[in-house]
Amino acid sequence: IFDDFILRFRDPRRFGAVMEEIWARATAKAFPNCRYAHVPGNHLTMVFGEGAAVVGREITAFAQAT
């Protein structure tokens, strides 16, 4: 059994989110041991600055909980 983690971000080139929140949450709910997390920024900025800090905190919390 795998634990899953879904990160959602926005892509300004596509006029909104790469995956709408409702679908991201539904996808996370469909998998056992999966957590949804919203990350500020887009697919590039989520790995720098505040986005990276959020990703790091969410991954750490997820790993500690599983």
Residue 53 has a pLDDT of 92
- Residue pLDDT, tens place only, 1-50: 445 556 665 555 555 556 778 888 898 888 888 888 888 777 777 888 88
Task: Output helix, strand, coil percentages for the chain, rounded to the nearest 5.
Answer: 50, 30, 20
pTM exceeds cut of 0.85: no
Give the angle 7-13-14 at the CA atoms, nearest 5°: 70
Residue 23 has a pLDDT of 84
Distances (CA, A) of 54 to 1, 5, 30, 32: 26, 13, 23, 23
Q: Which amino acid is at 53?
A: A
Residue 1 has a pLDDT of 40
